[in-house]
């Protein structure tokens, strides 16, 4: 989303130049892993996370982990994600649950997701990679399966793996449930990654209704030691939009 004024591989240098220490994006799979690794090393950046393969994005897929007819595809693609993560020294992989197929009942959908998450965490158990489950709002992705903190935590509990954690996107959760500081505080031990954008618009913090001064202060004063990712759409030029950090 950020630095999209330039091609993907040129964004690493811009991120480093503007004092970012880590980088995240949806998918690395269109690029040879060596090219990405070179960009990380050249610019002294950490690869913080990326997503598991999520189907055919251009055709509307937003994850396939809930679709029983695609269990084989999900499991086959996991190896590619692990290969990239280990090569890039990336410690987090995000699973987008996806949109259930209309012919699938809710019980089968949930069972499929849990089975896939168990498969993934079992395959990650001998690595130092943590799998993240992210709830997403239904305004941006109509029909997405995992949509609230409580639902995500219920699924995480059902999977029962120590290396499955919650990815908490403040923008998505403001839309779906609000009560940001309270929810974060009550569930901090499960949260392994934060993402930020303002609402409405999914633009820079300070452009919408979320009191990021208070929310980020709360996170900073908590026991959380992980990353906060800027997953927002710049209103204009990315660099001009970074002024919110000074405030």
Q: What is the pLDDT of residues 195-213, one digit of tens each?
A: 999 999 999 999 999 999 9
Q: Please list, in sequence order, all residues whose beta carbon lies within 8 angstroms of the beta carbon of residue 157, skipping any fewer than 6 positions away.
A: none
Average of per-residue pLDDT across 66-85: 98
Q: What confidence tens digit (pLDDT) does each residue in 7-25 have?
A: 999 999 999 999 999 999 9
Q: Where in 6-121 does DSSP place strands (E)?
A: 22-24, 46-51, 92-95
Beta carbons of 26 and 50 less than 8 angstroms apart: yes
Distance of alpha carbon 182 from alpha carbon 215, whole angstroms: 10
Q: In the annotation, is 83 catalytic?
A: no
List of domains in the chain: 8-246 (3.20.20.150)
Q: In the annotation, is 134 catalytic?
A: yes
Distance of alpha carbon 240 from alpha carbon 37, whole angstroms: 28
Active-site hit among 69, 134, 186, 246: 134
Active-site hit among 58, 204, 231, 246: 231
Query: What is the arrangement of strands in the sheet containing 130-133, beginning at the earlier edge strand?
Result: 22-24, 46-51, 92-95, 130-133, 164-169, 191-196, 228-230
Q: What confidence tens digit (pLDDT) does each residue in 124-178 have?
A: 999 999 999 999 999 999 999 999 999 999 999 999 999 999 999 999 999 999 9
Position with higher pLDDT, 75 vs 104: 75
Least confident of 4-18, 67-81, 92-106, 229-243: 92-106
Q: What confidence tens digit (pLDDT) does each residue in 71-80 have?
A: 999 999 999 9
């Amino acid at each position: 989303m950020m630095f999209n004024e330039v091609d993907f591989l040129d964004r690493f240098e811009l991120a480093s130049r503007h004092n970012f220490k880590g980088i995240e994006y949806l998918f690395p799979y269109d690029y040879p892993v060596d090219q990405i690794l070179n960009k990380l090393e050249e610019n002294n950046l950490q690869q913080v996370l990326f997503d598991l393969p999520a189907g055919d994005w251009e055709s509307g897929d937003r994850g396939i982990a809930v679709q029983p007819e695609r269990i084989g595809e999900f499991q086959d693609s996991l190896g590619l994600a692990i290969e990239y993560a280990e090569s890039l020294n990336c410690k987090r992989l995000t699973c987008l649950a996806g949109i259930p197929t209309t012919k699938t009942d809710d019980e089968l959908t949930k069972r499929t997701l849990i089975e896939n998450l168990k498969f993934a965490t079992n395959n990650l158990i001998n690595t130092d990679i943590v799998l993240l489950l992210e709830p997403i709002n239904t305004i941006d992705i109509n029909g997405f399966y995992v949509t609230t903190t409580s639902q995500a935590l219920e699924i995480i509990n059902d999977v029962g793996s120590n290396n499955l954690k919650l990815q908490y996107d403040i923008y998505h959760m403001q839309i779906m449930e609000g009560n940001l500081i309270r929810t974060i505080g009550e569930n901090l031990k499960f949260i392994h990654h934060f993402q930020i954008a303002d609402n409405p618009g999914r633009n820079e913090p300070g452009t919408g209704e979320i009191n990021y001064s208070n929310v980020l202060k709360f996170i900073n004063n908590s026991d959380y030691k992980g990353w906060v990712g800027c997953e927002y759409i710049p209103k204009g030029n990315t660099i001009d939009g970074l002024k919110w950090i000074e405030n």
